[in-house]
Amino acid sequence: MEIKLYTHSGACHADDVFAVAILQTAFEGNSIRVIRTRNPVELKQAAGMPLTFLLDVGGVYDPAELLFDHHQPQGAGYRQPDIKEWPYATAGLVWRHYGAQAVSQMHPSLTSAQVNEVVDAIDDQVLKYIDAVDCGIRFKSHGPSLSGIIASFNAASFETGEDSFPLVCDLARVLLTNFINRQVAKISAMVQVRNSAKLSQGRVLKLEACVPWVSVVADEMPGVKMVVYPVIQPDRHVWQMRVAVDTGPNGQNRLTLPANWGGLEHHALATATGVKDALFCHRSLHLAGAASFEGIISMAEKALAMHQDDRVALAA
């Protein structure tokens, strides 16, 4: 069967681009044709036809008829309707109805609860921001947003470049795939993290692989101060330790590594720590490495002891 995706011609935006990418992922294996037009007659004829989506065009939101626009006077609703925050645009609407299908298409072994967790997380972390920008909301930014990156592919006023829509759709699919895979990895990692060994009176968590652990430790393991894990490098395996953080959006580090370790490497760090195979300590005092598990545990225990000494001194 052939699925037709109608969206507007002209400049491409993250909203319409991600809507197309979501449906391409959800209907992987089917023939999909993207038609870009603003011709009202053509759009009216296409509206309501079987296997035909209208995305960001047509002036109607009706998922039963595969119509996904948000430009109508009443809009297409809000994620938080009581306070009218986080409005829906086309990408979010399509994700709302087809996100689960896209995730299941990529990861068919997930349970429905796990699929829904991935869908909710990606909407909260990615799509609601794309929708907000498309609805005219501006954010203070420390760099380009996804919406800005997609918009950068449109030709400048002095250019007559080729249609960039196929290219940015491919880019959006790569990004969407990464977002989904990353969230699925977090879910699968939770069990590994919860079952990992605790050392040093429960203050150090030992992982057998570097998997996503921050949120589980922050939310469920208040006694863990540091996490150690192996890092595979081309010529060897080394170990790293990272300071755990408290829960919340501005989670604070549960301790800092000794100040005299900061920024040191190899021999200088080995001298400062007394650990022969110490490799580095980040200048921000949250991350350090050693060549062996024994070395990293030794560094962790020394850091814990110095942290405890500092607390005792402050209390006195």
Q: List the beta bridge partners of residue 4.
A: 33, 52
What mean pLDDT comes out for the span 154-176?
84
What mean pLDDT comes out for the span 302-308?
89
Calculate the average pLDDT of the chain. Answer: 91
- pLDDT at residue 255 in the model: 94
The confidence band for 188, taking pLDDT boundaries of 50, 70 and 90, is: confident
Nearest residue to 204 (alpha-carbon basis) of 277, 274, 304, 293: 304
- pLDDT at residue 313 in the model: 46
- CA atoms in the 13 A half-sphere facing the CB of 58: 28
d(CA 58, CA 66) in angstroms, rounded, equals: 11
Please give the sequence-ordered ranges of beta strands (E in DSSP) within the chain, or none if there are none. 2-7, 31-36, 52-55, 61-62, 67-68, 78-80, 85-87, 197-199, 204-206, 226-233, 236-243, 278-281, 287-290
- pLDDT at residue 93 in the model: 98
Report whether 95 contacts 22 (CB < 8 A).
yes
pLDDT digits (tens, 9 = 90+) for 105-147: 999 999 999 999 999 999 999 999 999 999 988 887 666 788 8
- pLDDT at residue 148 in the model: 85
User: What distance separates the 2 farthest-apart alpha carbons in the chain?
Assistant: 80
Q: For the whole model, what pTM was predicted?
A: 0.74
Helix 165-194 and helix 14-26: axis angle, to 10°? 60
- pLDDT at residue 312 in the model: 43
User: Two tokens at 45?
Assistant: 């004829």
Q: Is the pLDDT of residue 315 over 60?
A: no
pLDDT digits (tens, 9 = 90+) for 274-289: 999 999 999 999 999 9
Nearest residue to 49 (alpha-carbon basis) of 70, 35, 30, 29: 35
pLDDT digits (tens, 9 = 90+) for 46-90: 999 999 999 999 999 999 999 999 999 899 999 999 999 999 999
d(CA 20, CA 8) in angstroms, rounded, equals: 11
The confidence band for 164, taking pLDDT boundaries of 50, 70 and 90, is: confident
